[in-house]
Amino acid sequence: MTAALKVVRAGLFDTLQDLGRMGFMALGMPTAGAMDRIGLTLANALAGNPASTAGLEIGVMGPDLLVEVDSVRVALVGPLSPSLIEGPDAPPKPLESDRSHLLKRGQILRVGMIEGASTAYLTVAGGFALPPFMGSLSTYSRAGIGGFEGRKLAAGDALPLARETAPGGDERKLGQAFDYGSGPIRIVWGPQEDYFSEAGRRTFVEAEYRVSKEADRMGIRFEGPVIEHAVAVDKGGADIISDGIGPGAIQVPGAGLPIVLLADRQTVGGYPKIATVASVDLPRLGRLLPGQAVHFAAVAVEEAEKLRRDQEARLQRAIAGFVVARPAGGIDLVKLYEENLIDGVVYDRLSD
């Protein structure tokens, strides 16, 4: 019998993602990969996996997963409210997110809704036993490649597991929630900021923009004040010779509203790019929901690089700061043994 997690009920948009399909953009292949690399990295660390291991990226609402293996360790990261169903008539038992859990055959993990963000992650110890495509398990659903049959999960799918049983050891959890930062989204000007007027560039960094309903893994179209091109649109001000699209590139087509391109972005494009999101803030963009407001702020390349290095250092400290998590509904024996439970007890010897 194949060790697997079976999808009893599908979520809204759940796909397998790792850190991306690197090195093939010259062939027209998008990188795909996790929208929030921090969330996936933390989930993999909690499960005891290398950071590049593929996990399940949960979009808005997660699936119900039946355990079809003797035991499996899963880790959940993100603002989730998961629960465990231990039998057909048993009520769901709440579980914590931002930690690992040991699951047994026949149990159903209800991943649940994501509150206040658009993505969360589930990883399994040892990873999923699926063949990579171009060196990656990341799903690129527009082309139907990677992940599980190149698509989002559906009811009845059985995700094969690399391990037949969970590894030994304690469950672990984050010492505290990871701080993704707040305030404006940091950007670096260019590569075509000269295609926009001074007034247009000023509008971009001074105005408030909101995430539109046209937001997905490919990119986010923002609503707000129009950004003025340096040359009239009808004279080609919104067109360039197509060139490469990096992660976080911000295109501004003729309508004058910014589009930030994300994991499933195309490899080339013919609209001028006013700026590029600093990599430190790409995970924040991957968590935004329609209607949320953002501001953009320009930083120098050197500052953007320092911010990313600082973030990576904080991420490693967060992983080093994992703590032992007590079993759901159980007793934390480590904490119990640390308590002085017999202080003040008097021994009364009544007889020899």
Looking at the structure, do residues 39 and 119 belong to the same domain, yes or no?
yes
| Distance from C-alpha of 214 to C-alpha of 142, rounded to nearest angstrom | 16
Q: Report yes or no on 38 lying in a domain.
A: yes
Looking at the structure, do residues 30 and 163 belong to the same domain, yes or no?
yes
Q: Report yes or no on 48 lying in a domain.
A: yes
Buried-state track 99-122, b at ≥16 Cβ within 10 A, e below 16? bbbbbeeebbbbbbbbeebbbbbb
Looking at the structure, do residues 27 and 154 belong to the same domain, yes or no?
yes
Q: Report yes or no on 318 lying in a domain.
A: no
Q: Report yes or no on 330 lying in a domain.
A: no
Of the listed ranges 172-186, 210-224, 265-279, 334-348, the one predicted with least confidence: 334-348
What is residue 237's predicted lDDT score, i.e. its pLDDT? 79
Quick one: tokens of 69? 């293996």
Q: Report yes or no on 61 lying in a domain.
A: yes
Task: State yes or no: pLDDT of 181 exceeds 80.
Answer: yes
What is residue 332's predicted lDDT score, i.e. its pLDDT? 47
Give ∠ CA 66-177-169 in degrees, rounded to 5.
50
* Helix, strand, or coil (residue 326): coil
Exposed, middle or buried: residue 123 (CB in 10 Å: 0-12, 13-18, 19+)?
A: buried
Looking at the structure, do residues 168 and 217 belong to the same domain, yes or no?
no
**What percent of the chain has pLDDT above 70?**
92
Looking at the structure, do residues 119 and 219 belong to the same domain, yes or no?
no
Instruction: Write the DSSP string, 74-120.
Output: EEEESSB--EEE-STTPPPEE--SSEEEEEETT-EEE--BBSSSSEE
Q: Domain boundary at 119, 142, 172, which?
A: 172
* pLDDT tier at 328, thresholds 50, 70, 90: low
Whether 127 contacts 48, CB under 8 Å: no
Task: State yes or no: pLDDT of 116 exceeds 90.
Answer: no
Looking at the structure, do residues 163 and 240 belong to the same domain, yes or no?
no
Task: State yes or no: pLDDT of 335 exceeds 60.
Answer: no
Summarised one tens digit per residue, pLDDT across range 267-285 is 999 999 999 999 999 999 9
* pLDDT tier at 350, thresholds 50, 70, 90: very low
Q: Which residue has the higher pLDDT, 234 or 118?
A: 118
Of the listed ranges 22-26, 120-124, 331-335, the one predicted with least confidence: 331-335
Q: Report yes or no on 152 lying in a domain.
A: yes
Looking at the structure, do residues 162 and 194 belong to the same domain, yes or no?
no
Contacts of residue 296, defined as CB under 8 A and 6 or more positions apart, other chains included, come to 184, 185, 186, 187, 204, 205, 209, 275
Look-up of token digits 């990261």: 77
Task: State yes or no: pLDDT of 236 exceeds 90.
Answer: no
Looking at the structure, do residues 164 and 197 belong to the same domain, yes or no?
no
Task: State yes or no: pLDDT of 343 exceeds 60.
Answer: no
Looking at the structure, do residues 189 and 168 belong to the same domain, yes or no?
no
Q: Domain boundary at 172, 194, 214, which?
A: 172
**Number of domains observed in the structure of the chain:** 2
* Average pLDDT of span 103-111: 97
Task: State yes or no: pLDDT of 47 exceeds 90.
Answer: yes
Looking at the structure, do residues 192 and 292 belong to the same domain, yes or no?
yes
**What percent of the chain has pLDDT above 90?**
86
Q: What is the largest CA-CA distance in the chain?
A: 108
* pLDDT tier at 89, thresholds 50, 70, 90: confident
What is residue 219's predicted lDDT score, i.e. its pLDDT? 96
Task: State yes or no: pLDDT of 338 exceeds 70.
Answer: no
What is residue 170's predicted lDDT score, i.e. its pLDDT? 94
Give the CATH number of the domain where residue 224 resides.
2.40.100.10
Enclosing domain of residue 236: 185-308
Buried-state track 224-248, b at ≥16 Cβ within 10 A, e below 16? beebbbbeeeeeebbbbeeeebebb
Predicted TM-score of the model (pTM): 0.90
Looking at the structure, do residues 129 and 9 belong to the same domain, yes or no?
yes
Looking at the structure, do residues 84 and 144 belong to the same domain, yes or no?
yes
Residue type, 82: P
Q: Report yes or no on 135 lying in a domain.
A: yes
Q: Report yes or no on 323 lying in a domain.
A: no
